[in-house]
Structure 1
């Protein structure tokens, strides 16, 4: 793997006058928030990787890193590449956030350490164990229901329907109003992008979704024993304040749902396109967890995130000044041939350890254990029950400034 160097620097690169960017940094005119990119990002990813370890994106005036080594390095140095100034294009040091900042995603140590510790305990592997049998039973029931139908939309009827049948209950949400959950999560991830039409439309439509979420995060609206109630109990214990508890519950509403929806959608899409891999999964259902992980690497439902430099830093030989936005291309890193052998193939036996589909370091996705559990048990149910998956209609992509997934995936399945 390519070595990545980061250090304070005395390098005296010449600087382009219009941006204050070292002249040696490759400039690219690509727009990672365009329809062209959303439809087919992989050629652009390759161009970004091959241009250099660090590039300058003229369209939005930010640095970009698309190779695995640099993306991993930025993710794992939160003191130099901070999150508290926003993980989207907006710089919270210069402009107001569109909503109260996340005390998890948009926070740095030591504040982040305290709140993340609480979430890690509430969503620990131990906490997941009691859920496994229930999640598995519902996955089996969903597979049986869909087999009986034969033909359906794998996004609305499976990738969305299954997580919505298990996660809100685990969180402790009331039944009423759950239709706001997916639009809210979509809004959050669109808001990380630039002020394009997607972001503007999402924020303009957001009032009812934001109101619903704010209300549901309050203690009195959460069922006893759920993740939400457990977070509020941590406030009673003094680990967080009572004002912080609803904000932590809010973090779970987006992190615990969309990652799973897009991940399951990606996995079914992969199995439908690569029948040899479905055959492997059917012959060994214990590969279900890895099949899900490989789909996360291969499709990278979370495509991008930003960080902001807290000091002048040298990254792989390029100087980046303080207060600069750095856009990490997680999807490009997950297919970087410098890190992965045959990166453009979906292989459920691949060793996927180290992919950055859920991030890396202290800001790894807080909902990853929930997503992995749901993805594993759903794919295991498919492995045991489904013999064939065929795409039977037009595949429609869903556009989002941060997420990559499908709007519609018509399929027909037949029993094993």
Structure 2
């Protein structure tokens, strides 16, 4: 009896890293999903997955789809990385285990409770400062970037001078996961200086005595990780802890400016801030793609992927897969977004996601108490990146909440600080 005929793997010759696709990837992602569970990207000779089930399966099966060969297009089996690989993103057990365990403890929900009150108060101050200056402003610069750059570097314990280097360094790192295109080349001249600054911030004598960085070095003193690993773990925080949160916050602010009815739902029930952030991460997927490498000949979606072959997982496409989500292209706070792969999945799931959620809850709750409406004053502009769904500008106009003053006149104000903190206790 003859063997059944094999079905050829679908092949797509569109380059997912051309600027036109990066600017508006939704049509291409739809094409990928509809082509099949596994597709060959002819431009790079790599496999791609865009459906939720296959992306989820690859993310959770680290034994078959390794990260240690790099989560970008470069294959570390054959190519030298441009920097020492990340102990979190670009390592697998057993090398991944100890650094992950240390950070999971330092950044876990219980440990973050000590920061909650300070971050709530800082979000309130920031929103008040912005509203005192103007009701029309760029939400990326004034909110999405400003808040993480206020609270997160302080929490890590790095000095204030030079913090403007964090975003361009992270932008380059995420660009470098793709091919060496114009986006990578545009930032190449700054890489030596940015890398030197980042590496300097990871040293014990530069960090404050009570931040995340000091706790990482203390873990090396206990023998939980080595002294050689400690600065690399701090670097992982500085690399992935800012850009992804900035773009997550920008995504949720973009969602509210384009969906005013959903903003009103959060104003009426600030406990929805947590759902709103995760729904925005699902809907916009700040991290759009990551690569894995097959550790053996492995079958997935009816296709055998050979040992050593690169696989590009489209997290953004999986998060809009209609096989998994009803009305996937809608931003809807009635949805349960849990299960999205915007933070990854499995042992490499984003270890800082609780930090990002706390930052978002603090900022959105402060806004909900102070702002009635959010609307665009001009089209939003993207910042193109090979990996990130990023924003250059979100020009908005807000209507501040008004309350009656002692003399009976209306004046712009938010709820009281105590009211905001009562809302935030819902998340503890």
TM-score bin, normalised by smaller chain: over 0.9
1:197-241 deviations in whole A, cap 9, x for unaligned?
Answer: 112333332111100000000000000110000000000000111
Bigger CA drift: 346-355 or 305-314? 346-355
Alignment match of 1:326 (pick from 297, 311, 323): 311
- Offset, 1:264: 0.4
RMSD: 1.2
Residue 83 of structure 1 pairs with residue 52 of structure 2: no
- Offset, 1:411: 0.8
| 1:210-225 paired onto structure 2 within 5 Å | 210-225=195-210
Partner of 1:345: 330
| 1:349-360 paired onto structure 2 within 5 Å | 349-360=334-345
Alignment match of 2:290 (pick from 305, 311, 322): 305
State the alpha-carbon separation in 2 of the partners of residues 279 and 405 from structure 1.
Answer: 25
State the alpha-carbon separation in 1 of the partners of residues 296 and 48 from structure 2.
Answer: 17
Q: Describe the shift of the 1:215–1:12 C-alpha distance in structure 2 as closer, same or farther (beyond 3 A).
A: farther
Partner of 1:69: 53
Is the CA contact 1:299–1:404 (under 8 Å) kept in the aligned structure 2? Answer: yes
- Offset, 1:327: 0.2
State the alpha-carbon separation in 2 of the partners of residues 396 and 163 from structure 1.
Answer: 20
State the alpha-carbon separation in 2 of the partners of residues 293 and 105 from structure 1.
Answer: 21
Task: Tell me the matched-pair count.
Answer: 398
Is the CA contact 1:266–1:296 (under 8 Å) kept in the aligned structure 2? Answer: yes
| 1:181-330 paired onto structure 2 within 5 Å | 181-330=166-315
1:159-199 deviations in whole A, cap 9, x for unaligned?
Answer: 00110000000000101111111111111101100111112
- Offset, 1:13: 7.5
- Offset, 1:242: 0.6
Q: Describe the shift of the 1:401–1:183 C-alpha distance in structure 2 as closer, same or farther (beyond 3 A).
A: same
Partner of 1:50: 34
- Offset, 1:349: 2.4
State the alpha-carbon separation in 2 of the partners of residues 359 and 411 from structure 1.
Answer: 31
State the alpha-carbon separation in 1 of the partners of residues 187 and 82 from structure 2.
Answer: 11
- Offset, 1:156: 0.9
| 1:167-186 paired onto structure 2 within 5 Å | 167-186=152-171
Q: Report the TM-score when normalising by structure 1.
A: 0.94
Q: Gapped runs of 5+ residues in structure 2?
A: 402-428
- Offset, 1:254: 1.5
Residue 27 of structure 1 pairs with residue 17 of structure 2: no
State the alpha-carbon separation in 2 of the partners of residues 133 and 403 from structure 1.
Answer: 30
SS in 2 for 1:205: helix
- Offset, 1:298: 0.4
Q: Report the TM-score when normalising by structure 2.
A: 0.91
Alignment match of 2:43 (pick from 41, 59, 65): 59
Partner of 2:376: 391
Q: Describe the shift of the 1:123–1:13 C-alpha distance in structure 2 as closer, same or farther (beyond 3 A).
A: farther
State the alpha-carbon separation in 1 of the partners of residues 61 and 196 from structure 2.
Answer: 35
Q: Gapped runs of 5+ residues in structure 1?
A: 1-10, 15-22
- Offset, 1:60: 1.2
SS in 1 for 2:145: helix
Is the CA contact 1:304–1:329 (under 8 Å) kept in the aligned structure 2? Answer: yes
State the alpha-carbon separation in 2 of the partners of residues 352 and 382 from structure 1.
Answer: 22
Q: Describe the shift of the 1:170–1:13 C-alpha distance in structure 2 as closer, same or farther (beyond 3 A).
A: farther
Is the CA contact 1:152–1:412 (under 8 Å) kept in the aligned structure 2? Answer: yes
- Offset, 1:12: 9.2
Bigger CA drift: 149-158 or 264-273? 149-158
Q: Describe the shift of the 1:346–1:94 C-alpha distance in structure 2 as closer, same or farther (beyond 3 A).
A: same
Partner of 1:145: 129
